[in-house]
Structure 1
């Protein structure tokens, strides 16, 4: 379990009376990896921009569950006991743990693909209660079209995922439906923990034409193992998040997760200013970027189309 606290200074003079009172925000994530870390940092940056400065007018506590749902529940109970002004759980398992632990402490979740399927809210437009947040439902169909553009003959999409993560199960269902629409099939590769991800990826060799790592935190936390399998077997790996491209996947269309965090932080700021979470609709992250990694593609036996590379927002090396 990793923890850091940004302690608030006492007696700080502020230009804005509405922000004169120091606030406390508790942030937790199911695991540490670049995308979720970027969300956390984006939240803090947005709060700073809104006038709550860490170490002056804002106390921020962060804890990671290191991939363990039981630890996530423990962190949730601990945070609730401290009664912060807002708890920000990042990822579906952490959000489920926090929402189960409190009905009155304000909760603003982030990086949750399917808030309704995860039973965090019943109605995203009118969440009610103490919960709201931001969904990062990915542009799955665009991902499949991207795979088809790079690999026109790809028919079998290998998808490693954690079957114990409701978010991932829902997403795999979406991938199956959209894949069928485009004449593709999905080959599932279950992995209940990070240590099982490499074996799941190896199990796709000879069974899939391409590997697609969706927004599954168990898989993303062990992404390098998937990339290694892809390079060793000339099995191209595409990702559901753009941060993974720099870590070795071929390409992705997705969100800048620091911006996802900033958008989440703007919601948190509204709650700190007095709005009730239940009165704030759940929103979906804005903006999608095409990111490609020609070197990773080459290592996996793929040549990216020139027009695709030219249209990318970021080209890795």
Structure 2
């Protein structure tokens, strides 16, 4: 009798264990990683450093590399590919889209009104562009890091004037897909400083070489390259073209100055991607873009390439060198 009861208890226990095993195994399976779509108008080779910085921000919010899959959708410098790339991210039902540049944000906005969008856009006024209702309360499915400071445009020309006291003529290279804020600021500063501006539009990476040929044909004293991921994608090419045509160049992108451009001044670019990653992490944790205030860049830097100055026969004033955060000898 006792043995029979023991056998029944054993069978019951065995059956319970067998039933429990799949549930236990299921409970031990790792959670499915969140997915972020990275919509970038540049090339994948440059996106690597941006995504690495984005991950630093995600890690600060507790999301390790195994907990977030980042899908790199780079257009390889062809803006015409952005709508198809955005549509693919929507079809994959990613948890967050991180679009870069005004064109990227506009494309993501057109592609979805439901998937959260955390932008990195250093050229647009997000309110004037219709991306958000206000900086404090975006109100829709878009938030992010935006920087439309017109002061940058003014500062670039002022730095050039200080570095080149005889400056009278400047070529401005711009991506017409960006907002006019930067060009308006440079134009206003040029009037005050009595500097003539000629504008050269660049719509794709493939146009860069021809654009520098056109710029050189204007015989300017210097070139200002306005902010656009289109230009940030090819820092070495832009620096080399500027040197080949002996054109002192100032820009937002420190990578261009480090690669051989003359000067850069603007936000610490990789820091803005870290900020964007932190905001994306907040969204993954449940905060809604509608309630997550737009952020501005917090770190800025000025880079001076003294080696390039010497190659161009330019003697930079001590005041310019002293204001620099980094001088490349």
Q: Give the TM bin, normalised by the shorter chain.
A: 0.7 to 0.9
1:150 aligns with 2:168: no
1:54 corresponds to which of 60, 65, 68: 65
CA contact (8 A) 2:264 2:304 kept: yes
1:37, CA displacement in angstroms? 4.6
1:105 aligns with 2:115: yes
Which ranges of 4 or more aligned residues in structure 1 deviate by more than 6 Å? none
Counterpart position of 2:274: 262
Counterpart position of 1:81: 91
Greater fraction of residues in helix = 2
CA contact (8 A) 1:292 1:314 kept: yes
Counterpart position of 2:243: 231
User: For residues 59-89 of structure 1, what are the alpha-carbon distances to aligned partners after superposition, in whole Å with 9 as ceiling and x for unaligned?
Assistant: 2211201122231111111111122221111
Q: Matches of 2:46 and 2:314 in 1, distance apart?
A: 25
1:58, CA displacement in angstroms? 1.8
Q: Matches of 2:44 and 2:268 in 1, distance apart?
A: 14
Could you tell me which runs of 5 or more consecutive residues in structure 2 were left unpaired when the two chains were aligned: 1-27
- Structure 1 range deviating more: 226-235 or 153-162: 226-235
Q: Matches of 1:227 and 1:188 in 2, distance apart?
A: 19
1:11 aligns with 2:21: no
Counterpart position of 1:17: none
Q: Matches of 1:227 and 1:301 in 2, distance apart?
A: 16
Q: Matches of 2:291 and 2:298 in 1, distance apart?
A: 20
Could you tell me which runs of 5 or more consecutive residues in structure 1 were left unpaired when the two chains were aligned: 1-9, 13-19
Counterpart position of 2:103: 93
1:31 corresponds to which of 42, 56, 64: 42
The structure-2 alpha-carbon separation of the partners of 1:119 and 1:198, relative to structure 1 and needing over 3 Å to count, comes to farther
**What TM-score do the two structures reach when normalised by structure 2?**
0.82
The alignment's C-alpha RMSD in Å is 2.3
1:195 corresponds to which of 195, 203, 206: 206
1:302, CA displacement in angstroms? 1.4
1:309 aligns with 2:327: no
**Equivalent runs, 1:117-266 vs 2, <5 Å:** 117-137=128-148, 139-163=152-176, 165-167=177-179, 169-205=180-216, 206-266=218-278
1:188, CA displacement in angstroms? 0.2
Counterpart position of 2:80: 70
1:300, CA displacement in angstroms? 2.2
Larger Rg: 2
In the alignment of these two chains, the number of paired residues is 298
Q: Matches of 2:156 and 2:74 in 1, distance apart?
A: 29
**What TM-score do the two structures reach when normalised by structure 1?**
0.85
